[in-house]
Amino acid sequence: MVGERPRVVCLCGSVRFLAEFDAASLAETLAGRIVLSVGSHRQRDEDALAHPTGTERDAALDRLGELYLRKIDLADEVLVINPGGYVGDSTRREIAYAQQTGKPVRGLEPLTL
């Protein structure tokens, strides 16, 4: 018989903290959780989308933002990557969405919203 499905955690936070995303992803995986995270731990979304400009770039960033909400839908909980307590506007939106959908939200550091 197969065991119970592991919890799924979605990492949210500013992509300026890619090293922290990577460390949290590893820690959560080693703790037996399935991790949903940013598209790349090697570069920020803004850097990956440096070539498209104007409305094309804005549309791509909007799609990534919506995709992140779908990741939260799939998750059992959200872990906010917030070194120094930093939480930006996009992350606040993701936290609010998670809370509206009844997902538990925790931070690497205490959350003050």
Element (H, E) at 11: strand 8-13
- Number of structural domains (the chain) is 1
Task: For residue 103, tell me if it sits in a domain.
Answer: yes
- Quote the Cα angle for 45-36-90, to 5°: 45
Task: For residue 112, tell me if it sits in a domain.
Answer: no
14, two tokens: 């500013």
Task: State in Å, rounded, how far the first CA of the chain is from the last one.
Answer: 43
**Mean pLDDT of the 60-83 span:** 94
pLDDT at 39: 77
CATH at 85: 3.40.50.450
pLDDT tops 60 at residue 75: yes
Do the beta carbons of residue 10 and residue 69 sit within 8 Å?
Answer: no
Task: For residue 3, tell me if it sits in a domain.
Answer: no
- Tell me the pTM: 0.84
Task: For residue 64, tell me if it sits in a domain.
Answer: yes
